[in-house]
């Protein structure tokens, strides 16, 4: 029976335990998207996780939708990430890079005046995250086929840079209403060419990018991040079971390292159906999990590993706390995103520090 502290193999990745640190945007990179030494300390603090999936990392300056998120499109960024991967490896950890293009989830103010791109010219509801004063999302421009191919190449180049930076693999961010997801789901894809219409066409971009990443890394070091519930950034699909089931059949044929779903547990969840159609690809469960959920998912074989996001922000030693069923630190929302401060980033105490403080208080 699998437990939190059981080792597990995801493709070529041999994990010491089944607790995964989810990708978490913290906006602590420099203005030119170079990872900082403070980020290296942050990741090293959390290296007891079985696997760290890095914060979403843009593949080009045009791919961004947030200030101070890191990139993997130039040499300075590679050097910044090298400090991080080395710090994690020195602590016995593993880390993969999550590769990202936000598509329409951006604004001309973040793109030097350019119009955000998407599968189709469908405007997202709501306001752009973190930009002040608040402003609505704009109508995106549909990508030309030649541009789709160019972005696929940008993903491939980012994967090459991830290898140079010392990562252990890569994960494609195909979730949460960002560019790949915008092509995949029917609400945002109204194209009438080979990238729109049928599920085979809507999934084409995702699969072409995955094949580019596999070309660089091998399938056993490539994962994918999916959000079948479509509950972020005004998404939706006419038939999620068919759409995401088809994707998993195709990725199962490629025998990728893992798939990760951002989907809370409920009667209408489809992650188990995706798992059944994946030809044995390891599954990482995520979203609103508590310790009891995680233990049950592993014990029952419904998931191969379990992932936590916000809990890993506030608890650098979350793995140890979960194994010991110890209390968790309270999350500081004020400095969670969009702050360059160390406060609320690298100052959360570990269990041993908490115990020392309690003894001396």
Quick one: residue 349, left, alpha or beta (phi over 0 = left, psi -120 to 50 = alpha)?
beta
What is the distance of C-alpha 301 from the center of its chain?
23
d(C-alpha 81, C-alpha 75), whole Å:
10
Spatial CA neighbour of 155 closest among 174, 142, 183, 182: 174
d(C-alpha 158, C-alpha 321), whole Å:
34
**Catalytic choice (42, 66, 178, 319):** 178
d(C-alpha 192, C-alpha 159), whole Å:
30
Spatial CA neighbour of 336 closest among 59, 150, 129, 126: 129
Spatial CA neighbour of 169 closest among 13, 20, 19, 56: 13
Please say if 319 is a catalytic residue: no
DSSP 264-302: --STT--HHHHHHTTTT--EEEESS--HHHHHHHHHTTS
221 touches 257 (CB < 8 A)? yes
> Which H helix or E strand runs over 28?
none
Which residues are known to be catalytic?
A: 178
């Amino acid at each position: 029976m699998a437990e939190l502290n059981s080792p597990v193999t995801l493709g070529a990745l041999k994990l010491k335990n089944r607790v995964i640190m989810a990708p978490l945007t913290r906006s602590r990179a420099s203005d030119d998207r170079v990872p900082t030494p403070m980020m290296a300390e942050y990741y090293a603090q959390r290296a007891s996780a079985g696997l760290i999936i890095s914060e979403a990392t843009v593949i080009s300056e045009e791919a961004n939708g947030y200030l101070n998120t890191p990139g993997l499109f130039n040499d300075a960024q590679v050097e910044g990430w090298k400090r991080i991967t080395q710090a994690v490896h020195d602590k016995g950890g593993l880390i993969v890079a999550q590769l990202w293009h936000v598509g329409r989830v951006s604004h001309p103010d973040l793109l030097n005046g350019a119009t955000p791109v998407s599968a189709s010219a469908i405007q997202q509801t709501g306001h752009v995250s973190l930009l002040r004063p608040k402003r609505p999302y704009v109508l995106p421009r549909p990508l030309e086929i030649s541009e789709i191919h160019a972005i696929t190449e940008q993903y491939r180049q980012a994967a090459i840079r991830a290898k140079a930076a010392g990562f252990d693999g890569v994960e494609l961010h195909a979730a949460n209403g960002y560019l790949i997801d915008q092509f995949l789901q029917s609400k945002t894809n109204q194209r009438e060419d080979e990238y729109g219409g049928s599920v085979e066409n809507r999934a084409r971009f995702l699969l072409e990018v995955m094949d580019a990443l596999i070309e660089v890394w091998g399938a056993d070091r490539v994962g994918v991040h999916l959000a079948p519930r479509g509950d972020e950034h005004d998404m939706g699909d006419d038939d999620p079971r068919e759409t995401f089931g088809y994707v998993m059949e195709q990725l199962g044929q490629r025998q990728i390292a893992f798939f990760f779903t951002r989907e809370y547990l409920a009667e209408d969840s489809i992650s188990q159906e995706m798992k059944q159609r994946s030809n044995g690809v390891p599954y990482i469960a995520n979203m609103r999990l508590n310790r009891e959920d995680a233990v049950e998912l592993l014990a029952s074989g419904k998931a191969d590993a379990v992932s936590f996001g916000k809990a890993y922000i506030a608890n650098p030693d979350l793995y140890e706390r979960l194994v010991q069923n110890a209390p968790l630190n309270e999350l500081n929302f004020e400095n969670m995103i969009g702050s360059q401060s160390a406060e609320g980033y690298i100052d959360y105490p570990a269990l041993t520090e908490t115990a020392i403080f309690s003894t001396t208080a």
